[in-house]
Structure 1
Amino acid sequence: MFQEASSFDQTVTIAELNRVPHELIWGPLRSYNHFSNTIFPIITGAVFFLGGWFIFHYYIYPRFKEKKIDYQLFILFFMSICFVVTGVFLFDFLKLYIRHRVDNQEQVIGIKVYSLFRKLFFFTNSLAAIVIILFYEGFAQLYYFLNQKLNEEKEENFQYLIYFLNISIAGFMMLVAITANLPRKDYWYGAVRELSLMAIGATTIYFAQEAFYKKVLPYFSSIKSKSFQNGAIYFLFINLLGAIGGYFIQYISWLTYSHVYLGFHAEWIFQLFLIFTFVSIVIAFLRKVIFKEKIELKTQIVSKSAELLNLRSQINPHFLFNALNTLYSVSLKENAEKTSDGIQKLGDMMRFMLNENHQDRIPLSKEIEYLHNYIDIQRMRIDENHNIEIKVNIQNSEREIFISPMLLNPFVENAFKHGISFRSPSWIYITLTHDAQKLYFKVHNSLHPKQENSPEQANNGIGLENVKKRLELIYPNRHTLDIQVSDNDYFVSLIIGIY
């Protein structure tokens, strides 16, 4: 408002210094009222604009962040849009501007009062106001994030960075408040346009390289696979959508600046599409190269940790293996077929732990054999008088499939540990199937609370957490693990890509 008052005084003073007749100065100003044509539009426009921002910042974004997508969110979003559009309309419709009238020699010959209200400018200014709110929200969330991370730092000197951050933002806002001008018809042909293009470009590149890194690169070796094709289509669609958004921003600036429709510029979309695609692929490959060594190191550490846990759980495994062979021979001499069968299965499990468990990949048939041995040994401690139901449906593989060892058995061990009770009805259902691309493994068991003094209570969940970490490192974006727990049952569904 101070700028508008100063501009009004300066315009009149310059006209008087150029000896413009009094009537040519004040005659046009009879239709101009400084309160109704300047002060009121600025105040009401700002109030409605801030109202729209307030609803978006304090009600819409928090609900959107918490993924509360309901009818109330749409109502609030509609209210925010209405506030912003109303503020832009009141400002554009009521605001009048004054400027000098000049002759062919650029000499001041009078004053002109005019309005910039046009349907096109009203649309573009409303869109620009909404974009400004989005920009502010993005910068605000970035500020909250940085402030939180700096506050979490334990070193005292990091507090000075918080002070520097706050002082810098306050100084920038004061500078903008003092020097900023009111929007004109070329609103989209300035900072908002440039910021919008940069925001769309950065957002597109971020999501596109993320899609290429997670949905295309993992399946690059099998280009004919459906997962690769779906990921590539998704990646190209993101880049095309970003290119169309960038073209839309440019198109709005063309409309606002030239007042005419300049035609469809397909080459602009094509250029943006190529730029976004190229940059996204480069960033994705850089991520793969940079983090490959780190992921391999993590995989080795987790594998060694799992191996160490397994070795610690055994007392001299070679001695036990030899002892089992001796017991097996003795049981055969004594005609204890059930005992000898159990010892043989336990020996096979020991051989698997010693020879197969340290490898990166093993045949699925080996893993299935270990599962059968473990389940058969567990069945041996259950007699017919116990109300326990165990159903196993494991599909035999017609082709050689390789997986990482000991990914399936921890879920079976967990089922027998928590799903078997000799006092209550119990059940365990185990299913393992596969198709050409994926392995499907399901374990569903009853759930019985352990006693507080149970020795297994302290180790509960260690094996499962280890499996989760191994899945994330060995099968990134190639597995789905769903665990559902209730008071009475425990369900695990694991899907692994095996193509």
Structure 2
Amino acid sequence: MKLRRIEAIISTAIILFVLIIIHSSETRNWEEQRSYFLADPFKAKGLPFNFYTNHLLPLLLFASLFYVAFITFNNWIIPKFIAKRRYEQALIVSILAFFFIWLGFAFCEWARKMYEHHSVWLYFNNRNRVIPAIFFTVVFLTAYTLIKQGTIFLLKQKGNLTARIVKESLIAIIVILLVFILLMSVNAHFGPFWLIMSVYAFIMYNVDLHVILPFCTKRNYNLKTYLFVRVPVSLVAYIPFGLLFVVPTSINFSGFIVAWICVNLILIPITWYMYKQQVGNLSKLLNLETALDKSTANLGFLRSQINPHFLFNVLNTLYGTALMEEAEMTASGIQKLGDMMRFMLHENIQEKILLVREIEYLQHYIDLQCMRTARSSNVLVDHRLATVGENHQIAPMLLIPFVENAFKHGISLNENSWIKINLYLEAGKLYFDVYNSIHKKASNDPEKSKSGIGLVNVQQRLAQLYQGKHELSIRQTNEEYFIHLTLVL
């Protein structure tokens, strides 16, 4: 409300200044030759001439109609109808308002040149003053509203895609209007042509950049197929703009087509270049996001370490004690646990490790779990981990979450349980299968409400690190849980 009050005050001051200038300029020496020159066409038709009613007042009213249009649309139609989402009423009122303003322009021209036509209606299509005046009114009000609302929107938004499009639109509108004003001062025919073609080009630029090119890229279309999609769309979009250009200039059909071809020959390579730049920038952002996620994970991991040297010393002490007591199984378990912890501390933070080291870690983990279930005759753990060379690498800790999940949910010391693990390589691909039985958790089991966060994390890592190079299948029945992972190394 405060902004509109300021706009009303400024626009009123501007129109008063303009009216004073017009009055001062037109009344100066009005009794001299110019007055007689204005009266001659009237006298030639036998019509009376009055300087005020046939010249000065029509000029003042003509200028005032721009002010009336601005106040009507900006301070009445927008806040009363559009801001309240009463769009149908806003459309009807806008059409009526522009009709009466158009009628006012025609009346002013009729009052100044009634010696040419006796009816006001015949001046509706006057191309010297009436049509340009109503055209300028529509363009100015549209541009002013878009710039104002776009600026308000940008002040409230952050740097998302919508804000970027609005920002580009504001810049385009300002540039288009500046060039339009410059061309109108040179040649009145160049201005409308530039305005119509530039608006069409900007709309097609955004449609191409944000709709057509992403659509074609997603489906791996080649250049020929892309043009097959784009050309009809651009032609259909061009028809209303082309008609606006054809009607006032009386251009023929060939000129209509030539203008469309020229605009698109310039537009297509520009849009293609901007799209490639946009895709490149997006790829860099995704890489930075991946690196940031990795750094954040590593930092969190390092913060979670609780004096690892102290833990290793304790494990070494326990290992020595177990050997002294001839508890070979306990000593073996402690040694494997120590190896796993060293793996976690030193190799887990690397981007890639040898596949053989990942398999060793898996083997240690399975051995420790088998020690826990060794005395249970109803538990079957069958694992086959292929022997691989040292020429394959893998991201660390990709396989272990699936095995951890199997032992967590697949083992019950009171029921028949089984886990089957199979890992092998073939033609540069890693194949990894894990089967496990399923058992219902007891109501007092602390793990019952825990979600499979480990599996969710490993799926996210696979999507980031092996995009397009992995296939993960997960199936579940009432009795069994199965995962199959294929990984291109």
Q: TM-score, normalised by structure 2?
A: 0.49
Kindly indicate whether structure 1 or structure 2 has the higher relative contact order, using CA contacts under 8 Å at least 6 residues apart. 1
Larger proportion of helix: 2
Q: Which has the larger radius of gyration?
A: 2
